Amino acid sequence: MREWNFGGSSPTALQEGFSTTKSVASLLIGIAQDQGLLSIDQPASDFITEWKGTKSEPVTIRQLLSMTSGRYFDFETDYAQMAFFSQDKSGFSIGLEQQHEPGTFWEYNNSATQTLEVVLKRASNMAVNDFAAQYLFDPLGLSSRLITDAAGNAGLYAGMQTSCRDLAALTQLVLDEGSYHGKQIISQAFVAEAITQSSMLKDDYGLLWWLDPSGAYYMSGACGQVAMAMPQFDVVATLMRTTDLSSPQGLLTCGGESSEEILLEGISAASSDG
């Protein structure tokens, strides 16, 4: 294992993981499916009963995971209004309208992902941050946690406080097909689906995991937070940047260059050098 730290940071310091949280949300949904609490192919409205009788009633959990739900999106709603945790994010997200027919349109959608918090909470009858701690973070020995909004809802589109080492452990879990020290944390079947193209509408996206043509797959967040597995080299790499969250402008403009490209190039070069 190799580590480099800059600016006074450390590999175990917790900081905002931004949308790396989405990939962890996928793992939590997979665990819930393994436990028989839900099926990703069932309508999300089985749990989000507020959608019964609306155009969102047929939206499946799988479509929420693959960004093909067709739920409402515009930049102001999905970024400016979802940026900070001072309101009921889950209530806001499930209250938005249906914009497209489910399964016909791909859109990277923060609020649609947050509706999975309602699905998981109601399916498990547990607070989602407690579910994450009990079934994922604690079994892996992680310090990561999901912060909650003003209404007590865990952030699943963003909001995970995590570290480089924790992101590496979560990605290693996926590289190891859901197994940790001989214990199956998530089923091999779900892990395989999560890192496989999930829709004909988007060739580089699985179930809240990004895919690279090289065979790598990764979780990625604003400001250059990324954790990548490269199965062809049996390598996991993470890169996290310290961030200034004092203003929306700082949040939306941090991390200009692609951390994914940095990791791909670095790992390929290291592999070539032996």
Residue 229 located in a structural domain: no
Residue 224 located in a structural domain: no
* CA–CA separation, 26 and 148 (whole Å): 18
Residue 143 located in a structural domain: yes
Q: Determine contact, residues 169/144, Cβ cutoff 8 Å.
A: no
Backbone angles phi, psi at 250, to 5 degrees: -65, -35
Helix (H) or strand (E) holding 160: strand 160-162
Q: Determine contact, residues 156/22, Cβ cutoff 8 Å.
A: yes
Q: Check the CA dihedral 14-137-64-257 and report its sign.
A: positive
Q: Determine contact, residues 227/171, Cβ cutoff 8 Å.
A: yes
Both structure tokens of 218 = 């990764």
Residue 55 located in a structural domain: yes
| Tally of structural domains, the chain | 1
pLDDT digits (tens, 9 = 90+) for 214-232: 999 999 988 788 999 999 9
Give pLDDT < 70 ranges for the chain. 1-11, 84-85, 242-274
How many residues are there in the chain? Answer: 274
What is the structure's pLDDT at 254?
A: 59
What is the structure's pLDDT at 257?
A: 47
pLDDT digits (tens, 9 = 90+) for 179-203: 999 999 999 999 999 999 999 999 9
Q: Determine contact, residues 61/116, Cβ cutoff 8 Å.
A: yes
What is the structure's pLDDT at 256?
A: 47
Which residues on neighbouring strands pair with residue 202, listed in sequence order? 199
Q: Which domain holds residue 153?
A: 16-200
Q: Residue 150: give its domain's CATH number.
A: 3.40.710.10
Residue 221 located in a structural domain: no
What is the structure's pLDDT at 98?
A: 98
Residue 111 located in a structural domain: yes
Q: Check the CA dihedral 161-165-171-176 and report its sign.
A: negative
Both structure tokens of 160 = 């995970």
Both structure tokens of 151 = 């209404």
Short-list 255, 32, 22, CA closest to 146:
22
End-to-end CA distance of the chain: 14
Which residue's entry shows tokens 């260059």?
257
**Amino acid code (one letter) for 200:** M
Between strands 160-162 and 15-16, the pairing is antiparallel
* CA–CA separation, 268 and 141 (whole Å): 30
* CA–CA separation, 29 and 35 (whole Å): 10
Residue 121: partners with Cβ closer than 8 Å, 6 or more residues away: 127, 128, 131, 153
Which residue's entry shows tokens 């192919």?
41
What is the structure's pLDDT at 116?
A: 98
